[in-house]
A and B are shown apart, each in its own frame.
Chain A
Amino acid sequence: MTADASLVQSVDWATIAPPTLTALVALGVLVADLFVPAARKQLLGWISLAGLAAALLLLLPLRAGDRATFCLTPGAQTAGHVQTTGCSYTADHFTLVVQLLVLGGALVAALLSLPATREKLPAGEYWFLLLSSAAGAALLPAARDLATLVVALEVASLPAFALVGLKRGDRRSGEAALKFFLSSVTATAVTLLGVSFVYAATGTLHLTEIAARLGEVPGPFHTLVQTGVALTLVGFAFKIAAVPFHFWVPDTYSGAPLPVAAYLSVVGKAVGFTGLILVTVVAFPSYADVWGPALAVLAALTMTAGNVAALRQDPTRERSAVRLLAWSSVAQAGYLLVPIGAAAYSSDEQVGATVAYALMYAAVNLGAFAVVALVARTHPGKRITDHAGLYATSPAAALALAFFLLNLAGLPPGIIGLFAKVTVFSSAVDAGLGWLAVVMGVNVVIGLAYYLRWTALLFRTPEHAPEKPGRTAHRAPAPVTLAIALTAAVGAVLSGYPQFVLRYATTSLF
Chain B
Amino acid sequence: MIDISESVMQFLLAFIVAAPLLGAAAALLPAPPGLKGKSPDQAVLRHGVTVTGAILLAALALAAGFDHDDPSRMQATTDVSWIRALDVRIHLGVDGISLPLLVLTALLTFLCALHSYFKPPAGPSPKAFVALLLVLEAGTLATFAVLDLVLFFLAFEMVLVPMYFLIARWGGEGRRAAAGKFILYTLLGSVVMLLGLLLVGIKGGTFDMVALAADNGRGLTTSVQVTAVLAIGVGLAVKTPMWPLHSWLPDAHTAAPTVGSVLLAGVLLKMGTYGFVRIALPVAPDGMRTLAPYLAAFAAVGIVYGSLACLALARPGAKGDLKRLIAYSSVGHMGFVLLGIATLTPTGVNGALFANIAHGLVTGLLFFLVGAVKDRYGTADLDTLAGATGAALYGRAPRLGALLAFAAVASLGLPGLAGFWGEMLALFAAFDPAEGLSRPAYLVFMVLGGLGTLLTAAYLLIVVRRVCMGGPRPAGEPELADVRAYELAAWTPLVALTVLAGLWPAVLLGLTDPAVQQLLAGGTQ
**Residues of chain A whose beta carbon lies under 8 Å from any beta carbon of chain B:** 356, 406, 411-413, 415, 418-419, 422-423, 425-426, 429-430, 434, 437-438, 441-442, 444-445, 448-449, 452, 456, 459, 461, 498-499, 502-507
Contacts and interface: CB of A to CB of B under 8 A. Distances in A.
B84 A503 contact: yes
B475 interface: no
Contacts of B154: 412, 415, 418
A10 B19 CA distance: 60
A442 B198 contact: no
Among B128, B135, B176, B194, chain A packs the most CB atoms within 10 A around the CB of B194
Contact of B202 (A413, A430, A441, A499): A430
A494 to B, nearest CB: 11
Given A411-B161, A459-B165, A426 B184 contact: no
Interface in B102-150: 124, 128, 135, 139, 150
B161 A426 contact: no
A448 B183 contact: yes
A99 B165 CA distance: 39
B495 to A, nearest CB: 35
A507 B84 CA distance: 11
Given A459-B128, A503-B85, A429 B161 contact: no
Nearest to B139: A412
B180 A449 contact: yes
B230 to A, nearest CB: 11
Interface stretch (B185-193, B420-428, B462-470, B479-487): B185-193
A418 B154 CA distance: 8
Contact of A461 (B82, B124, B194): B124
Given A412-B158, A445-B188, A448-B187, A425 B86 contact: no
Contact of B83 (A425, A449, A499): A499
A263 B428 CA distance: 65
A505 B88 CA distance: 13
Given A411-B161, A412-B161, A461-B124, 9 more contacts: A413-B161, A419-B88, A423-B86, A448-B183, A452-B164, A456-B165, A459-B128, A499-B85, A506-B85
Contacts of B176: 456
B187 A445 contact: yes
Contacts of B88: 419
30 contacts: A356-B85, A406-B161, A411-B157, A412-B160, A413-B135, A413-B158, A415-B154, A418-B154, A419-B83, A419-B88, A422-B86, A422-B153, A425-B198, A441-B188, A441-B192, A441-B194, A442-B191, A445-B187, A452-B164, A456-B168, A459-B169, A498-B82, A499-B82, A499-B83, A499-B84, A499-B85, A502-B83, A502-B85, A504-B85, A507-B85
B451 interface: no
A419 B168 CA distance: 26
Q: What size tier do the contact residues of chain B reach? A: 35 or more
Contact of A422 (B161, B194, B227): B194
B191 A445 contact: yes
A277 to B, nearest CB: 18
A438 B86 CA distance: 20
A415 B183 CA distance: 17
Among A415, A434, A441, chain B packs the most CB atoms within 10 A around the CB of A441
What 8 pairs across the A-B complex have the smallest Cβ distances?
A: A441-B191, A502-B85, A412-B158, A503-B85, A429-B198, A506-B85, A445-B188, A498-B83
A444 B180 contact: no
Interface in B73-96: 82-86, 88
B157 A412 contact: yes
Interface of B: 82-86, 88, 124, 128, 135, 139, 150, 153-154, 157-158, 160-161, 164-165, 168-169, 176, 180, 183-184, 187-188, 191-192, 194-195, 198-199, 201-202, 227
A425 B85 contact: no
Contact of A429 (B85, B164, B180, B199): B199
Contact of B195 (A406, A434, A445, A507): A434
Contact of B191 (A430, A444, A459): A444
Nearest to B185: A445
Nearest to A423: B86
A342 to B, nearest CB: 12
Contacts of B83: 419, 498-499, 502
Contact of B198 (A406, A415, A422, A445): A422
B277 to A, nearest CB: 24
B187 A438 contact: no
Nearest to A503: B85
Contacts of A448: 183-184, 187
Contacts of A437: 195
Contacts of B188: 441-442, 445
A412 B158 CA distance: 5
B313 to A, nearest CB: 29
Contacts of B85: 356, 423, 498-499, 502-507
B160 A426 contact: no
B139 to A, nearest CB: 8
A507 B180 CA distance: 39
Among A419, A503, A505, chain B packs the most CB atoms within 10 A around the CB of A419
Nearest to A437: B195
Contacts of A356: 85
A503 B164 CA distance: 32
Among A448, A449, A461, A502, chain B packs the most CB atoms within 10 A around the CB of A448
A429 B202 contact: yes
A444 to B, nearest CB: 5
Nearest to B195: A437
Contact of A449 (B153, B161, B184, B192): B184
Nearest to A348: B202
Nearest to B188: A445
A449 B186 CA distance: 12
Given A445-B191, A448-B187, A502 B165 contact: no
B252 to A, nearest CB: 15
Nearest to A443: B191
A502 B86 contact: yes
A445 B189 CA distance: 9
A498 B124 CA distance: 34
A363 to B, nearest CB: 17
Contacts of B180: 449, 452
Nearest to B189: A445
A329 B227 CA distance: 32
Nearest to B135: A413
Contacts of B192: 438, 441
A429 B86 CA distance: 14
A430 B135 CA distance: 32
Contacts of A434: 195, 227
